[in-house]
């Protein structure tokens, strides 16, 4: 079991206000024997077209406040026919127009390609920040299917006939954008530990 150890001897902290992210990240890191502390905190996010920039700025901001090893995860869905919208604004769009609004914007749009992206920013000190990303290509369904969170009921990963929500958390965990990013973090961490 690897405990991600911070400066004060505490475990590394995953800062997020989203309990679904905690569940998924705990499952993925758990497969590598890695544990973390969850801090349920809302923090200000910069406005940018780049998830990498948003995640980096959030990690730096939180490090200045908390002064411990921590990571954040920023994610978004990018719809081809909407020129990548909502992308970095996914959280706001989910809270405002939601999935019905996205489906309405895409009514009678034949090209339904989209991608889900996740960026994890892991910070150990002001000048020691690492980014890990994961992308899953897919399409937007015609109707909402399944009951899970966020855009899960309308996103069909490439190669599947089901939305993330229909396939359920375990199957989603095996192939999701978040899984890909977290797996890169886990591999990087386990390599560092074995070199010690």
Catalytic residues: 74
Query: Which residue(s) pair with 163 in the sheet?
Result: none
Query: Which residue(s) pair with 135 in the sheet?
Result: 117
Is residue 94 a contact residue for ligand ITT (CB under 6 A)?
yes
Return the number of the residue (23 or 194) whose C-beta is nearest ligand ITT. Answer: 23
Footprint on residues 1-20 left by ligand ITT (CB under 6 A): 16-18
- Dump the DSSP string for 30-81: HTTTEE-EEE---------S-HHHHHHHHHHHHHHHH-S-EEEEEEEEEEGG
CB of 15 to ligand ITT, least distance (A): 7
Footprint on residues 31-60 left by ligand ITT (CB under 6 A): none
Return the number of the residue (33 or 100) whose C-beta is nearest ligand ITT. Answer: 100
Q: How many CB atoms neighbour CB 125 within 10 A?
A: 10
Footprint on residues 126-185 left by ligand ITT (CB under 6 A): 149-152, 164, 176, 178
Residue closest to ligand ITT when measured from CB atoms: 150
Count Cβ neighbours within 10 Å for each residue of 23-55 and write b for 16 or more, e otherwise: ebbebbbeebebebeeeeeebebeeeeebebbb
CB of 174 to ligand ITT, least distance (A): 13
List residues near ligand ITT by CB under 6 A. 16-18, 21, 73-76, 90-91, 94, 149-152, 164, 176, 178
């Amino acid at each position: 079991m690897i405990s991600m150890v911070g400066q004060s001897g505490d475990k590394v902290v995953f800062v997020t206000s989203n309990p679904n992210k905690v569940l998924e990240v705990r499952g993925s890191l758990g497969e590598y024997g890695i544990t973390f502390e969850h801090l349920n905190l809302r923090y200000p996010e910069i406005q940018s077209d780049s998830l990498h920039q948003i995640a980096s700025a959030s990690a730096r901001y939180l490090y200045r406040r908390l002064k411990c090893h921590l990571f954040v995860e920023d994610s978004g869905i990018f719809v081809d026919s909407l020129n990548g919208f909502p992308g970095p604004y996914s959280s706001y769009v989910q809270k405002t127009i939601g999935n019905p609004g996205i489906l309405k914007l895409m009514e009678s749009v034949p090209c339904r390609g989209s991608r889900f992206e996740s960026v994890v920013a892991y910070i150990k000190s002001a000048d020691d920040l690492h980014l890990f990303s994961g992308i899953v290509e897919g399409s937007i369904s015609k109707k909402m299917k399944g009951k899970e969170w966020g855009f899960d009921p309308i996103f069909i990963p490439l190669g599947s006939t089901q939305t993330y929500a229909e396939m359920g958390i375990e199957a989603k965990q095996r192939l999701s954008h978040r899984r890909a990013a977290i797996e890169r973090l886990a591999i990087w961490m386990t390599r560092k530990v074995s070199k010690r």
